[in-house]
Amino acid sequence: MTPPNHRGAPPVPWNLLPESAGTDARGSLTIGGCSVAALAATYGTPLFIYDEAQLRARCREAVEAFGDEVAYATKAFLCTAMARLAAEEGMVLDVSTLGELHVALLAGVDPSRLVLHGNNKSTAELSRALEVGVHRIICDSTDELDRLEVLAAAGGVRPKIWIRVTPGVEAHTHAYVQTGQEDSKFGFSVASGAAAAAVERIAAKGLLELCGVHAHIGSQVFDVASFGKAAEVLGRFFAPLGLGELCVGGGLGVAYVAGEEAPSFGAWAATVRGALAAVGIGPEVRISAEPGRAIVASAAITVYEVGTIKDLPGLRTYLSVDGGMSDNPRPVLYGSGYEAMAVAMPKAERVRAVRIVGKHCESGDVIVPEAFLPAEVGVGDLIATPVTGAYGYSMASNYNKVPRPAVVFVADGRERLVVRRETLEDLVRLDLG
C-alpha cells in the first residue's frame, strides 16, 4: 500500500472515465456533454452519473461477441431505464429474484427475453416466471427441480430449463465472488456426478424440458484463461447430452484503478468458443453469456461533496464526503480499489495524499484508503470516483438512515433523471409506528 507521505500521483488515467468524458471551458469535468458540477447542483450529491452512449455501446459489443441470446445480469445495476436500454440494444435480461423480475416487467421487457436465476428460488418466484413465460429458468438444485416439477404438473406446462453446473474451476478473483469451485452453494457439481444425475432425473420425470447447461465461475475475472478452463469442463460435460444451448455465465472484469487492463468481450468470446470447439462443441450450439459488471461499471462515476478535512500530522489526512459505504460498499466488502479526482480539475496532478471516508458511524467506512487529490481540493468541493456503475447503486443501503442517491443518465448534452434521490418520507414509508 502507498504510504501517506507518498509524493503524489498523476491525474486519473482518462480511460477509467466514461468514454464521453471531457472538460468544459474552465477545465471542469463533463460527461455526455453535461457539466458534472451543474448536475450535482441540480440533483445534489452523492450522485451517480451514467454515460448512456457507453451503456449502449457495451450492450452492442456483448451482442456482437456472443449473439442475441447474451443476457445483461441486472444485479449489477437495475432500474426501468436500464432494463429498457439493455433490451433495446438486443440483450436478454438475467433476473435472479422476484424483485428484479418485477422491475424488468415494469420496464416493458418482453418476458420471452428474460432468464431466471437464483440458488434458492421461491415457489412464488418460480410461479411468476411460469405465469409470465420467461425464456429459460436456470435450475440450481434438486429441491428447485422438485418445486418446479410440482408447479409444472399442476399448471399443465413443460417449463424450458437449463441446469447450472459447477465446473470445479477457481476463477482468479475475490473469494466472495468465486462461484465455479466445488465448495459452492451454487449449482450441480460436474465432478461429483450431481450434474449428470440431475440430467437423468429431469429426463426420467419428463416434466421439464432441459434445453441447455449454464455455468458461472465468478465475477471480476481478468484472466480469460479461467473462462477457457471452465468452458472446457463445461463443454466435455455438455457434448454428449445433445442439447442446443450453452451459457458460460458472466464475470468479465473491468479496470478500476490506474495500471489495470481488462479483456474485451471479443477476447472473452473467442477464448470460450476456442475452448468449446476443442472439445467438439460445434456451431449448431447456441453459446451465450451474461455479463453484468462489464456492461455498466465504467459507464458511471459517483460525485460527492467534501464535507470535512482532518489533518493528523505524521499520521494522515481524512477527507470525508457526503456518502460512503451506503452508496459504495465494495471497498468495505471486498477491499476493492477506486481512484478519485477533483471535478473542477480532473487533469490536475494529485499531490495530496488523503484517506477518503464516508459519513457513516464506523471507521471501516472507507471509500479510498490511499487516495491522491490535487492540493487545492477543500471543503465544499466536488470529487468523483470513476467506475462505480456496477454493484454500487444496486448494493446501496439506507444505513444510518441515509437516503439513497439519485441516478442520472447523460448523452449528447442532455440529462435524464432515471432514479430520483430518496426523501426522508421514503425512509419511513415502511414504518408503521
Asked if residues 372 and 9 have their Cβ atoms less than 8 Å apart, the reply is yes
180 near ligand LLP (CB under 6 A): no
Radius of gyration of the chain (CA): 23
237 near ligand LLP (CB under 6 A): no
367 near ligand LLP (CB under 6 A): no
Q: Which is nearer to ligand LLP, 29 or 98 (CB)?
A: 98
Angle between helices 98-106 and 123-132 (to 10 degrees): 30
207 near ligand LLP (CB under 6 A): no
135 near ligand LLP (CB under 6 A): no
248 near ligand LLP (CB under 6 A): no
Angle between helices 80-88 and 52-66 (to 10 degrees): 40
| Nearest-approach distance from CB 76 to ligand LLP, in angstroms | 5
Interacting stretch for ligand LLP, rule CB under 6 A, among 62-70, 71-79, 233-241, 370-378?
Answer: 71-79
Which residues, listed in sequence order, are joined to residue 312 by a DSSP beta bridge? 316
| Nearest-approach distance from CB 348 to ligand LLP, in angstroms | 29
Distance CA 370, CA 160 (A): 49
Report residue 429: phi and psi, to 5°.
-55, -35
Interacting stretch for ligand LLP, rule CB under 6 A, among 62-70, 194-202, 228-236, 248-256?
Answer: 248-256
291 near ligand LLP (CB under 6 A): yes
Among candidate residues 59, 139, 211, 361, the one labeled active-site is 361
Report residue 54: phi and psi, to 5°.
-70, -40
224 near ligand LLP (CB under 6 A): no
Q: Cis bond leading into 405, ω under 30°?
A: no
| Member of 29, 62, 76, 272 binding ligand LLP (CB under 6 A) | 76
Which residues, listed in sequence order, are joined to residue 409 by a DSSP beta bridge? 50, 416
252 near ligand LLP (CB under 6 A): yes
177 near ligand LLP (CB under 6 A): yes
Which of the 8 DSSP states describes residue 84? H
Asked if residues 398 and 385 have their Cβ atoms less than 8 Å apart, the reply is no
Stretch 371-410 residues interacting with ligand LLP (CB under 6 A)? 391
Q: Which is nearer to ligand LLP, 163 or 306 (CB)?
A: 163
Binding mask 334-363 for ligand LLP (x = CB under 6 A): x-----------------------------
| Member of 249, 358, 389, 403 binding ligand LLP (CB under 6 A) | 249
Q: Give the CA count within 13 Å in the CB-facing half-sphere of 173.
A: 27
Which residues, listed in sequence order, are joined to residue 417 by a DSSP beta bridge? 408
Question: Burial, 422: exposed, middle or buried (Cβ in 10 Å; 0-12, 13-18, 19+)?
Answer: middle
Distance CA 114, CA 116 (A): 7
Distance CA 400, CA 261 (A): 36
Q: How far lies 395's CA from each of 62, 237, 241, 323, 366, in Å?
A: 24, 35, 38, 13, 16
Overall size of the chain counted in residues: 433
Binding mask 85-124 for ligand LLP (x = CB under 6 A): ---------x----------------------x-------
Q: Is 211 a catalytic residue?
A: no
| Member of 128, 136, 216, 273 binding ligand LLP (CB under 6 A) | 216
Binding mask 137-176 for ligand LLP (x = CB under 6 A): ----------------------------------------
Q: Active-site positions?
A: 361
Task: Note the residues at the interface with ligand LLP (CB under 6 A).
Answer: 73, 75-76, 94, 117, 177, 216, 219-220, 249-252, 290-294, 330, 334, 391
